[in-house]
Every structure is written in structure tokens, then in C-alpha cells.
Amino acid sequence: MQAGFLGTNVLVSGGSQVQITAYDVGVNAANSRLLAPESPQGVSPTIVSEITRLMDGIAPVVVLAGVTDRPVNTSLVYQQDRLNAVQDLCKRINADYRFNGNKQLEIYPLTPQTPVWTIQGGPEGVLVDVNRSMDLNGLYNQFIADGTATVNVNGQDQQVPIRGVAQISEGPLRWGGPHGKYPQFYQSNLLTTQADCEAYAQTMMTTQLAGLSVDLKITCLPHPGLQQGDWVTVIAPTTGNNNVSLIGRVKQMGLRSNGTAVDRMTLTVECTYADVEAAIGGVDRG
């Protein structure tokens, strides 16, 4: 047999798919549980200084513009869950947290901010689809905050449960009215006095009434730099070729791949009910 006809078996890869599940550095904070109950430390501690202390050795803390720090109650007690303590502290200054691409914990405000992106349709736009939704789920009309107080009984300290209650008493959402009875419960070891519980219950109610919102379900072209908590402007089409402009905060986002490239992005953008009502109500429907 001529040498030119001699063949060589060569292994040719047919390709493969590798499924990857990744977590941000928040998983380290979640796993690093407190070994014993802790209270705020240092001289005149603040909310931000306590969050920084709790995240020491895990992730640097960055405070974004619009966040207002304030002193923290030194009688607070943190239990095992480190991130739960961080979340509770953020709520006390009307803020939330996220982890950014630089492995930092960002504290960002929940108050309206300047939009970082405009989502609209058209030849040069990125909007694919937008729908709005409202849901009775989570539309509470009574708010209950449970905590634990330390009382001295016969010379010994004992832990006793405490509770603060606030409820909507007027309008269609009132407790026992057309909306029925729909309580929301919150429990935290950071609530250590009756006044703390009552104030937090009142804050829960005030926050809900001020934060009645409409969720926009959006499909759009990808923006890998967008983050949860960012504010965006949505130019939404309506009847009669009209457009309405709405500003909202990104609550949820999803960015996937179709196997060869980055696919379309899905967003849930929270807009205030008043803004949506004003924008939609002002549309000329002919």
C-alpha cells in the first residue's frame, strides 16, 4: 500500500457546553455568620460605620450620593445573620445595598435619582416590549413589628417579646374595609424597645402608602453596565402612536446568553402609581 493512502486517526473535538453558576462576593458575607450576638461598637457609631465594620475583611463599603448617614442606636443587637443586619441598617436610612463589579458593597439611596439610561423604541432605540402590572399581593393594610426587650425581673434580666402595630384607617385600603384584613409582619432583634416597634410599624405603613407603585415589565436590548437600584427613563408607547415618559427604579433584571451571544435583557422597573396615573391619564385617546 502506498504511503500516501495511509491514514492517521485524529481526535477532533465536537465541542461542548459547560454550565456555570456564579455568585458575587455577597456569598462570602452570607456564609460569614456572626459567632455571637454583637452590638454597635466604637465612639458615636453611625449606620454607615456599623455596616463598614460588619463588612470588614469581606468587602469594602462605598456610599453613593443621596445617602444620608445618621447615628445608630447602641442598644441594637445583631444575631447570626450578617447580611440581615446590613439590610436592617440600610432600611433605617432609606437605602439598600448591592455588590458592584469591583467587589465592593454599595449603599445606594431609595429616593429618586437622575436616570442613567433611556429605554425607548424606534430604529435607534433599545425597547422590545413593555407591559405594566399591578397586584393585590403585598398591598397590606396593617403593619406589625415584633422585637425583643430586656427587662429586669427580681434582679435578673429577661427577654420579653414586644410588638408595635399600625394600620390604615381611611380609604378603600382601610383595615376591615373593601380590601379586607391584610397584615404584614416584621421581626428583628434590632427592635429593643416598645417605641422602636411602634415607630417601625408606623414607618412600614408610611412607606407603603408613599410607595404605591406600578411595575413595568420590560424586554430590551442588553446594557451590561446597568445595576439593580439604578433609575431609568422608559418611553412607553400607548394608543394612537402616543408615547409616555416614566421614570422608575430597576427592581429586578435578567441578562442571559442565547448560546452564541448576549440575548435580550428583561427588567422590572418600579414606577410610582401617581406618576403612571398622571402619564397614562394625560394621553389623548382621540
Q: What is the CATH number of domain 26-109?
A: 3.55.50.10
Q: Which residues contact 283 (CB under 8 A, 6 or more apart)?
A: 238, 239, 240, 242, 244
Confidence at residue 106, expressed as pLDDT on a 0 to 100 scale: 96
Confidence at residue 1, expressed as pLDDT on a 0 to 100 scale: 44
* Helix/strand/coil for 142: strand
Per-residue pLDDT of the chain (286 residues; tens, 9 = 90+): 455 556 678 877 777 777 777 788 889 989 999 888 888 998 899 999 999 999 999 999 999 999 999 999 888 888 889 999 999 899 889 899 999 889 999 999 988 889 999 999 888 889 988 888 777 788 899 999 999 998 888 888 899 999 999 999 988 889 999 989 999 999 987 788 999 999 999 989 988 887 788 889 999 999 988 999 999 999 988 766 778 889 999 999 988 777 777 788 999 998 887 788 777 765 554 5
The β-bridge partners of 219 are 129, 266
Q: What are the structural domain ranges in the chain?
A: 26-109, 117-135+212-281, 142-210
- 117-135+212-281 CATH fold: Elongation Factor Tu (Ef-tu); domain 3 (2.40.30)
The β-bridge partners of 68 are none
DSSP one-letter string for 111-139: S----SEEE--STT--EEEEEEE--STT-
Q: Which amino acid is at 79?
A: Q
Confidence at residue 283, expressed as pLDDT on a 0 to 100 scale: 56
DSSP symbol at 15: -
Which triple of cell numbers denotes residue 3? 504511503
Q: How many CA atoms lie within 13 A of 84 on its CB side?
A: 15
pTM, 2 dp? 0.67
Q: Which residues contact 193 (CB under 8 A, 6 or more apart)?
A: 75, 147, 149, 162
Confidence at residue 11, expressed as pLDDT on a 0 to 100 scale: 79
The β-bridge partners of 272 are 213
Q: Give the C-alpha separation, 187 to 146, whole Å.
A: 5
**Residue 168 contacts residue 209 (beta carbons within 8 Å):** yes
